[in-house]
């Protein structure tokens, strides 16, 4: 049984259409056939003489005709735009995007749409090159070169899968067919096959892991088509007495049993019953691999892009952004979200309580161009007996976004998966600083209650990891609200210093770093320590400052931590401060 890639992609959609009819003469303006019944009265200015016919230019078109005319104009695609939609991106464009592209009315809008289409898929929006687009067209070229079979390679099933997912992790190829020893899950026994290939992918996002996709060339013309029937490659399937399965050879089954209307025409064997239960899994797999990549969290996108009004209770959360220099032209912007567990809806099953929160982060320019878009799901899981205690804690989500210096808008939307009407949104300007070479500068000063070095293989990877340090910022409702620590905790602070002067003779820096904690109530210094920059990194113009202080020695109250840098070579000073509270 062959698989038609379109059979799983037919979706019935209902549309609510709102449009404003326009006047004008188009292809649809031909005069209607004479209507039966008495003639209708006409305005004096439009009355025709007894020997004159009505002017077709002055007649009113029906709403249906006006809509058809507008639709014909919008959907008329020619040349490069038609090729782009129907060939270049046919396997990766979503149904929503294709419909939107067809509604555009001029080439300027189409050009802008194509630009945004590739930007949405660019893994590195800051790069002038679009790696996704380059890889996509490389895959098309490869498919045309290797999978053509009386038609372009991109049109074949193998080309479709290769363009969508890239090279498989391994291929079990049988280009000549021939003798084939069936595995037991296909019934066992020996047969002869048509040419076939099995592509193995260790993991495909949104689809699953350890996936086997089978293609068979039943016409022996090089056109391998995707199949969910592993028995289709059996060239002796309809030859009496040949290519028998293990049970058929033993007289425990008949070959006719293969053709009883199942999804797969596999012979009966020791594992037949277990394989029958997996037939619908293969149908589901086929639907997923041949469908365009889905748009995740589309409902949250509506809250951000369309300013959709929330119908349920507000889902509160706090946001913090920091800035860390990566290169002269790129700044890492860690975005930290903090949610109270008691605001998350938990569902308890089998003694485990689980809560899920969908998160969408979107960064746009002042001209509404999207430069970063991140989607994730946070899971909070607790034993049911400890749920009440867990609800008193908070959960943190952290994501680092590479951005160019400049002014942006940061939008965040979250949704409680177990309570879909429970949605929260956040919007703010985001001014990413420029770190100029000649000017002494620092990153954000980050306070946290835990800080530790990560292993070499985890440097720069994982949540709350900056460089080789793991530190999760304390998040407050706003920058002026101090972070809160208990006396039993440690105060950890992290900051980087950039553009220290380097002595030409010694090739080393020369600056002093002063840590200071001030009691805000009395304005007295309760802790101070001074270090030489050479002790932190003598020959570098960049330093990472990390310090841990126990809170046990501080009385409850409000404090401020300040880090001062005095560069004696460049004759510049800079300081960063952050308030905190000891409970």
Contacts of 445 (CB under 8 A, 6+ apart): 493, 494, 495, 561, 563, 576, 577, 578
Please state, for a pLDDT cut of 90, what percent of the chain lies above it: 40
Residue 8 is predicted with a pLDDT of 36
What are the boundaries of each domain within the chain?
Answer: 59-121, 168-289, 296-433, 436-583
Judging by DSSP bridges, how do beta strands 483-485 and 572-582 pair with one another?
parallel
Average pLDDT of span 70-97: 78
Q: How confident is the model at residue 18 (pLDDT cuts 50, 70, 90)?
A: very low
Average pLDDT of span 176-182: 90
What pTM does this model have? 0.52
Judging by DSSP bridges, how do beta strands 557-567 and 511-519 pair with one another?
antiparallel
**Higher-scoring residue by pLDDT: 18, 583:** 583
Average pLDDT of span 16-20: 34
Residue 275 is predicted with a pLDDT of 61
Residues 202 and 224: beta-carbon distance below 8 Å: no
Q: What is the pLDDT of residues 309-332, one digit of tens each?
A: 566 788 999 999 999 998 877 899
**Opening angle at CA 156, ends 150 and 162, nearest 5:** 135
Q: Rounded distance, CA 138 to CA 133, Å?
A: 9
Residues 465 and 446: beta-carbon distance below 8 Å: no
Q: How confident is the model at residue 66 (pLDDT cuts 50, 70, 90)?
A: low
Helix (H) or strand (E) segment spanning residue 272:
helix 272-276
**Higher-scoring residue by pLDDT: 377, 46:** 377
Across 418-508, the runs of DSSP E, i.e. the strands, are 423-432, 441-442, 446-448, 451-453, 465-466, 469-471, 483-485, 490-498
Q: Rounded distance, CA 215 to CA 231, Å?
A: 11
Average pLDDT of span 240-248: 81
Q: How confident is the model at residue 249 (pLDDT cuts 50, 70, 90)?
A: confident
**DSSP letter, residue 125:** T
Q: Rounded distance, CA 211 to CA 168, Å?
A: 10
Residue 316 is predicted with a pLDDT of 93
pLDDT at residue 27 is higher than 50: no
Residues 432 and 529: beta-carbon distance below 8 Å: no
Distances (CA, A) of 113 to 117, 301, 365, 409, 554: 6, 17, 16, 21, 58
pLDDT at residue 30 is higher than 60: no
Residue with tokens 């029958």: 276
Q: How confident is the model at residue 431 (pLDDT cuts 50, 70, 90)?
A: very high
Across 341-422, the runs of DSSP E, i.e. the strands, are 347-349, 352-364, 370-383, 394-403, 406-416
**Higher-scoring residue by pLDDT: 303, 560:** 560
Average pLDDT of span 55-72: 61
Q: Which two tokens stand for residue 312?
A: 């349920």
pLDDT at residue 2 is higher than 60: no
Residue 1 is predicted with a pLDDT of 42
**Opening angle at CA 213, ends 210 and 217, nearest 5:** 155
Residue 433 is predicted with a pLDDT of 93
pLDDT at residue 303 is higher than 80: no
Q: What is the pLDDT of residues 134-169, one digit of tens each?
A: 888 889 988 888 898 888 899 999 999 999 999 999
Q: Rounded distance, CA 458 to CA 463, Å?
A: 10
Q: Which two tokens stand for residue 338?
A: 């903090």
Least trusted range by pLDDT, from 101-105, 198-202, 218-222 = 101-105
Instruction: Work out the number of other CB atoms within 10 angstroms of the CB of residue 260.
Output: 8
Q: Which two tokens stand for residue 163?
A: 């363009």
Average pLDDT of span 48-59: 52
Query: Burial of 374 by CB count in 10 Å (0-12 exposed, 13-18 middle, 19+ buried)?
Result: middle
User: What fold, for 436-583?
Assistant: Immunoglobulin-like (2.60.40)
Instruction: Work out the number of other CB atoms within 10 angstroms of the CB of residue 139.
Output: 20
**DSSP letter, residue 563:** E
Instruction: Work out the number of other CB atoms within 10 angstroms of the CB of residue 308.
Output: 15
**Opening angle at CA 524, ends 520 and 528, nearest 5:** 105
pLDDT at residue 394 is higher than 80: yes
Residue 385 dihedral angles phi and psi, to the nearest 5°: -70, -15
Q: Which two tokens stand for residue 69?
A: 């005319």
Contacts of 522 (CB under 8 A, 6+ apart): none
5-43 CB burial, b ≥16 within 10 A, e <16: beebeeeeeeeeeeeeeeeeeeebeeeeeeeeeeeeeee
Distances (CA, A) of 346 to 245, 414, 479: 51, 16, 31
Q: How confident is the model at residue 240 (pLDDT cuts 50, 70, 90)?
A: confident
Q: How confident is the model at residue 345 (pLDDT cuts 50, 70, 90)?
A: very high
Smallest CA-to-CA distance from 158 within 166, 136, 579 is with 166
Q: Which residues on adjacent β-strands are paired with residue 402?
A: 332
State the Rg of the chain over Cα. 33
Least trusted range by pLDDT, from 137-141, 212-216, 273-277, 511-515 = 273-277
Instruction: Work out the number of other CB atoms within 10 angstroms of the CB of residue 412.
Output: 24
Q: Which residues on adjacent β-strands are paired with residue 415?
A: 358, 423
Least trusted range by pLDDT, from 4-8, 328-332, 335-339 = 4-8
Does domain 296-433 bear CATH number 2.60.40.10?
A: yes
Q: Rounded distance, CA 85 to CA 82, Å?
A: 5
Q: Rounded distance, CA 102 to CA 81, Å?
A: 10
Q: What is the pLDDT of residues 349-374, one digit of tens each?
A: 999 999 999 999 999 888 778 888 88
Residue 262 is predicted with a pLDDT of 62
Least trusted range by pLDDT, from 63-77, 372-386, 397-411, 448-462 = 63-77
Q: Terminus-to-terminus CA distance in the chain, angstroms?
A: 70
Query: Burial of 147 by CB count in 10 Å (0-12 exposed, 13-18 middle, 19+ buried)?
Result: buried
Please state, for a pLDDT cut of 70, what percent of the chain lies above it: 79
Residue 13 is predicted with a pLDDT of 31
Hey, which of 66-70, 451-455, 495-499 has the most confident mean pLDDT?
495-499
Least trusted range by pLDDT, from 159-168, 363-372, 393-402, 556-565 = 363-372
Same fold, 296-433 and 436-583: yes
Query: Burial of 462 by CB count in 10 Å (0-12 exposed, 13-18 middle, 19+ buried)?
Result: exposed
**Higher-scoring residue by pLDDT: 63, 495:** 495
**Mean pLDDT over all residues of the chain?**
81
Q: What is the pLDDT of residues 481-499, one digit of tens each?
A: 899 999 999 999 999 999 9
Q: Rounded distance, CA 256 to CA 241, Å?
A: 11
Helix (H) or strand (E) segment spanning residue 232:
none
Least trusted range by pLDDT, from 114-118, 136-140, 426-430 = 114-118
pLDDT at residue 114 is higher than 50: yes
């Amino acid at each position: 049984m062959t698989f038609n890639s379109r059979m799983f992609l037919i979706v019935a959609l209902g549309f609510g259409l709102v449009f404003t009819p326009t006047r004008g003469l188009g292809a649809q303006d031909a005069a209607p056939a004479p209507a039966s019944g008495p003639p209708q009265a006409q305005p004096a200015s439009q009355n025709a003489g007894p020997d004159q016919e009505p002017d077709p230019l002055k007649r009113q078109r029906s709403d249906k005709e006006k809509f058809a005319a507008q639709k014909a104009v919008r959907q008329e695609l020619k040349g490069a735009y038609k090729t782009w939609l129907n060939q270049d991106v046919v396997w990766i464009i979503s149904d929503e995007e294709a419909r939107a592209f067809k509604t555009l009315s001029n080439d300027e809008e189409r050009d802008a749409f194509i630009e945004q289409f590739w930007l949405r898929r660019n893994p590195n929006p800051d790069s002038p090159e679009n790696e996704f687009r380059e890889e996509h067209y490389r895959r098309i070229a490869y498919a045309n070169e290797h999978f053509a079979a009386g038609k372009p390679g991109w049109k074949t099933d193998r080309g479709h899968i290769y363009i969508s997912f890239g090279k498989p992790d391994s291929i079990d190829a049988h280009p000549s067919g021939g003798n084939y020893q069936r595995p037991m899950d296909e019934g066992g026994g020996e047969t002869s096959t048509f040419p076939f290939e099995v592509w193995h992918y260790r993991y495909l996002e949104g689809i699953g892991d350890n996936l086997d996709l089978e293609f068979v060339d039943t016409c022996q013309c090089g056109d391998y088509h995707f199949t969910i029937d592993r028995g289709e490659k059996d060239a002796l399937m309809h030859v009496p007495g040949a290519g028998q399965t293990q049970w058929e050879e033993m007289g425990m089954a008949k070959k006719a049993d293969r053709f009883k209307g199942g999804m797969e025409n596999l012979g009966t064997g020791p594992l037949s019953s277990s394989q029958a239960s997996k037939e619908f899994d293969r149908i589901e797999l086929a639907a997923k691999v041949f469908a365009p990549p889905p748009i995740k969290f589309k409902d949250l996108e509506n809250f951000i892009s369309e300013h959709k009004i929330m119908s349920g209770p507000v889902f509160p959360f706090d946001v913090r952004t920091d800035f860390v220099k990566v290169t002269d032209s790129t700044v890492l912007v860690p975005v930290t979200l903090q949610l109270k567990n008691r605001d998350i809806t938990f569902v308890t099953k089998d003694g485990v309580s689980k809560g899920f929160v969908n998160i969408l982060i979107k960064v746009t320019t002042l001209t509404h161009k999207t430069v970063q878009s991140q989607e994730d799901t946070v899971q909070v899981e607790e034993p049911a007996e400890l749920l009440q205690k867990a609800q008193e804690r908070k959960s943190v989500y952290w994501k680092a976004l590479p951005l160019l210096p400049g002014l942006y808008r940061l939008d965040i939307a979250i949704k409680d998966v177990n309570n879909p009407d429970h949605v929260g949104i956040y919007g703010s300007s985001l001014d990413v600083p420029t770190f100029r070479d000649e000017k002494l500068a620092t990153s954000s000063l980050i306070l946290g209650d835990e800080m530790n070095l990560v292993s070499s293989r985890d440097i720069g990877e994982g949540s709350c990891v900056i460089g080789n340090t793991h530190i999760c910022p304390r998040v407050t409702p706003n920058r002026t609200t101090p972070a809160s620590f208990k006396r039993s905790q440690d105060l950890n602070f992290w900051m980087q210093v950039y553009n220290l002067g380097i002595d030409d003779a010694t090739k080393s820096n020369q600056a002093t770093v002063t840590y200071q904690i001030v009691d805000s109530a009395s304005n007295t210094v309760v802790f101070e320590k001074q270090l030489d920059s050479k002790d932190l990194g003598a020959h570098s113009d960049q330093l990472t400052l990390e310090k841990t202080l126990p809170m046990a020695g501080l009385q409850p109250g409000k404090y401020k931590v300040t880090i001062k840098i005095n560069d004696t070579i460049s004759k510049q000073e800079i300081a960063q401060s952050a308030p905190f509270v000891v409970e």
